[in-house]
Chain A
Amino acid sequence: MRREHTIADRVTNSSLWRAVVRHGYPDTERNQALIIASNVFLHLHPVKIKRYATKVTYTFCLGGLSFFMFLILVMTGVLLMFYYVPSTTQAYQNMQDIEASVTFGQLMRNMHRYAAHGMVIAVFLHMCRVFYTGSYKPPREFNWVVGVILLFLTFLLSFTGYLLPWDQLAFWAITVGTTMAESAPLLGPKIRFLLVGDNEIGQATLIRFYTLHVIFLPLAAALMMAVHFWRIRKDGGISGPL
């Protein structure tokens, strides 16, 4: 019983620890199963998984990477929100302040921007991986459609964020983008007005893009991700050779 006397054992045997963590040290298969099953986040996973599904050269971690980028974006995005006011008179100044005087502000902005690019790339490549391994085939056809919706949401998330720095690059990129939407047959001008909120890009556009970017689209994406991850499990786990 020498183990009982280590500090680690005292901590892990305390009633506080036992109240939070419902499993022992995961060096037995029983505890390894419990650690997955009793943790809400780890419970995204099954307890056991097919061996081929853990091969990095099969999935290239791309789905996981997309989710990882999303998490980085949420964290850095929340920090940026503390300093950013979506106003045409303040936004640009806020950006300069974030870069010049906020502690780690430049780092947060850079990470947010690069993770956003990274997420678009990861999601697109993830779609390619799923396609080339034939993983969209029944019973996973609905999850493939959910994935296409998530690709679309990723584009929208990135596009709405692109306006927020309120510099020339942002302003004119969104001008080009919304002009494209305007050319849609029949509904084009209405769609553009819905996006821009005015006849030209200005305060109404900035607040719309901001609200979409920080609340609506992340929630929509999180919802679709929940469905996406849930469906992986329900459709028989990660695809593999028959």
Chain B
Amino acid sequence: MADVARRPAGAAGGISDEKRQRLLELVRGRTAARPTDLAEDEVMVWPTLVVVEALSAVIFTFLLLVASIAVNPPLVDIANPTVTPNPSKAPWYFLNLQELLLHMHPALAGVIVPTMALVLIAAIPFVDRSPLGVGILFTSDKGKKITVFSAIFTTIVLIALIAFDSEIGVTRSLSGKVAPVVYEQLIPVAVMVGFSVVLGVLVSKIYRPTRRELIIALFTGFVVSYFVLTIVGTFFRGYGMEIQLYWPWTNLHEGAH
């Protein structure tokens, strides 16, 4: 700019002051940055998206109100460190970990497994970097089949494992015969890693998956494990955290008294 300003008027190739002013003109027509130029696959956020958000906010406010008016959550007796309820249970979203606690060393169940789970989940996008299948639920038909397969496989294996440990009992059978590290740590780790590998190998053999689809199998295994263990821990663990096959709501509340 400074260069232009210093240039004497009427110099070769230059523009006289008079002419320069005349260069400023209003150009009618579209500017490049009009916010209202919609491409074919685009919609305005107002109203299209904002309406959906407002509606779902209204619906869920209503549902919350109805639930809050209909059912009061428990407020049992005042905290008493000298009276231990049986069973004592963690909040429901940690009951999966409390369920694991019944089958392995507390350091594994309470800390190492959940930490590993979170770290592995966070690492997913650094392992699966191909943009293939973005934006498509389950990526492909094969992805859907793998999800269902993995869910059924995980459910069956988990229920079988819990039943086995509850009826026969790894700790019960082995304690006194081998070092505790075997049944508290080695066997549980072997079982968890082993069945993940079995799931991976089975899915690889049956479906010839891409890396993304293999990760779908493993992630589904995690989600279903979380779900099954939470359900078992919440509804099927009663007095002394023994398996109990009837509805235990009363138990939860009695236990707290």
Task: Give me the interface of A with B, judged by CB distance under 8 Å.
Answer: 26, 29-30, 32-33, 35-37, 42, 45-54, 56, 58, 61, 64-65, 68-69, 72, 88, 92, 95-96, 99, 106-107, 109-111, 113-115, 117-118, 120, 124, 127-128, 131-138, 140-141, 144-145, 148, 151-152, 155, 158-159, 162, 165-173, 175-177, 179-185, 188, 200-202, 239-242
Contact = CB atoms under 8 A, between A and B. Distances in A.
Contacts of A29: 35-36, 38, 44
Contact of B111 (A53, A166, A181): A181
B111 A188 contact: yes
B162 interface: no
A30 B36 contact: yes
Interface stretch (B22-30, B52-60, B163-171, B194-202): B52-60
A152 B93 CA distance: 12
Contact of B68 (A51, A111, A185, A239): A111
Contacts of B56: 61, 64-65, 68
A171 B81 contact: yes
18 contacts: A45-B45, A46-B45, A50-B43, A51-B43, A114-B64, A133-B135, A134-B212, A135-B135, A138-B131, A167-B74, A168-B85, A172-B88, A176-B90, A184-B112, A188-B107, A202-B81, A239-B134, A242-B134
B68 A47 contact: no
B187 interface: no
A168 B76 contact: yes
A111 B79 contact: no
B186 interface: no
Interface in B86-122: 88-94, 97-98, 101, 105-107, 109-112, 118, 121-122
A132 B49 contact: no
A168 B44 contact: no
A168 B45 contact: no
Contacts of B35: 29-30, 33, 37, 47-48
Say what secondary structure dominates the interface of chain A.
helix
A61 B55 CA distance: 11
Contacts of B57: 68
B122 A48 contact: no
Contact of B88 (A132, A159, A175): A175
A145 B38 contact: no
B129 A136 contact: no
Contacts, number: 244
Given A33-B36, A131-B124, A168 B256 contact: yes
Given A47-B35, A51-B41, A168-B85, A95 B75 contact: yes
A167 to B, nearest CB: 5
Most B CB within 10 A of own CB, among A132, A140, A239: A132
Contacts of B89: 172-173, 176
Nearest to A109: B73
Nearest to A141: B125
Interface string B39-83: 101111111111011001100110011011101111111111101
| A-B complex: 3 closest residue pairs judged by Cβ atoms | A180-B110, A141-B125, A183-B106
Interface string B4-44: 00000000000000000000000000000001101101111
Nearest to A191: B111
B94 A177 contact: yes
A128 B111 contact: no
B85 A172 contact: yes
B130 interface: yes
A126 B235 CA distance: 24
A140 B131 CA distance: 11
Contacts of B105: 183
Interface string B109-153: 111100000100110111011111111111100000001000000
B90 A115 contact: no
Contacts of B138: 132
Contacts of B173: none
A184 B76 contact: no
B93 A120 contact: yes
A44 B41 CA distance: 21
Contact of A36 (B38, B45, B61, B212): B45
A132 B137 contact: yes
A138 B96 CA distance: 31
B88 A49 contact: no
B217 interface: no
B223 interface: yes
A132 B75 contact: no
Contacts of B236: none
A241 B134 contact: yes
